Chains A and B, each alone.
Chain A
Amino acid sequence: MTKLLEWLLGVSLIGVAWGLVTFDLLDLRLPPVYREVAWPMPVYLLVAFGCYSLATVGFRVATFNDCEDAAKELQAQIKEAKEDLRKKGLKM
């Protein structure tokens, strides 16, 4: 199963569950409070997911390691390498 199909399956399962409760399709005579909670649920889920995404990406950008030391180490090694290679007869 492709990821696309997995997603479609997941979304339709949630959609069916939501429809069943919101419109009481099976005639279960659910208390009205169920319906009131259920009908705006897709919007809540979207907003919650959006917030989670923004927070996660924001946090990861803010805590992205800046490898200053790695850059310095590399610069030093480049110098060393150039000298050594010149000694070994490399013409750059």
Chain B
Amino acid sequence: MASRKSTKKQDQGDKYSVLLPTYNERENLPLIVWLLVKYFGDSGYDYEIIVIDDGSPDGTLQVAEQLQKIYGEDKILLRPRAKKLGLGTAYIHGIQHATGNFIFIMDADLSHHPKFIPEFIDLQKEGGYDVVSGTRYSGNGGVYGWDLRRKLISRGANFITQVLLRPGASDLTGSFRLYKKEVLESLIERCVSKGYVFQMEMIVRARQLGYSIGEVPISFVDRVYGESKLGGNEIVSFGKGLLTLFATT
């Protein structure tokens, strides 16, 4: 496929499939798609965006259909499911329809900015990494919109995890990552956790299986529209998940 700009490295036949699982993201979806198109367009890499909507009652799918008309059916693929079925199966569902040899996983709520995508791709090419993970915890990475409590919990949980699991990656619960397609497939097959722990299990198992991991510092801007959640339940389930990984990996 011809790219708009003929800059440097895009003639290697690599294609990037972005998986966007959505649930009630009517406000955010057009914006994240617009940003993805902008940064992929500027960098000239071949890409597709796969929207996996889990039956959002707010009409996310209708918005996605409009976006498909605007940007074309080769760029925006809609792979909706009837109801909320969880993140792991959403990725499996998305991968089945992905034509790229690399897969981007990110949140559709604008907390992950597509401007970092070229950095992910460059680092992957440089080091030949199996996984490139965005990190809020090292280099110029950071967060916006977190109060002291949230920062403390996040840093504390990250420290305990680093001590117990020594995973060789600084951001375990982040979900802005680039995978080689076959690596993502083999990881998803093995991962059983839900929620925050799912992302952590993915990176821990990646290390366990000997996959190489690169890291790109990212700025995480907490959701602009909608509620961000971190309550007692999340903390308890994180603790359980951590102990499970501690005993089984």
Residues of B within 8 A of A64 (CB): 142-143, 146, 151, 155
Decide if B113 is an interface residue (CB 8 Å cutoff): yes
Residues of B within 8 A of A90 (CB): 30, 63, 66-67, 70
Interface size on B, residues (CB 8 A): 40
Contact A74 B152 (CB under 8 A): no
Residues of B within 8 A of A68 (CB): 144
Contact B219 A67 (CB under 8 A): yes
**Shortest CB–CB separation between residue B151 and chain A, in angstroms?**
5
Decide if A89 is an interface residue (CB 8 Å cutoff): yes
Q: Which of B31, B145, B146, B249 contacts A82 (CB 8 A)?
A: B31
Minimal Cβ-Cβ distance residue in A for B157: A57
Interface size on A, residues (CB 8 A): 29
Contact A77 B35 (CB under 8 A): yes
Decide if A92 is an interface residue (CB 8 Å cutoff): yes
Minimal Cβ-Cβ distance residue in A for B137: A60
Contact B143 A67 (CB under 8 A): yes
Residues of A within 8 A of B221 (CB): 67, 70-71, 74
**Shortest CB–CB separation between residue B147 and chain A, in angstroms?**
11
Report the bound CA distance from A90 to B30 in whole Å.
Answer: 9
Decide if A91 is an interface residue (CB 8 Å cutoff): yes
Contact A65 B142 (CB under 8 A): yes
Contact B30 A53 (CB under 8 A): no
A50-81, CB < 8 A from B: 53, 56-57, 60-61, 64-68, 70-71, 74-75, 77-78, 81
Contact B224 A78 (CB under 8 A): yes
Minimal Cβ-Cβ distance residue in A for B153: A61
- Name 12 A/B residue pairs within 8 A (Cβ), A-sorted: A2-B246, A3-B246, A4-B247, A61-B148, A65-B142, A67-B143, A67-B144, A70-B113, A70-B219, A74-B113, A81-B31, A92-B30
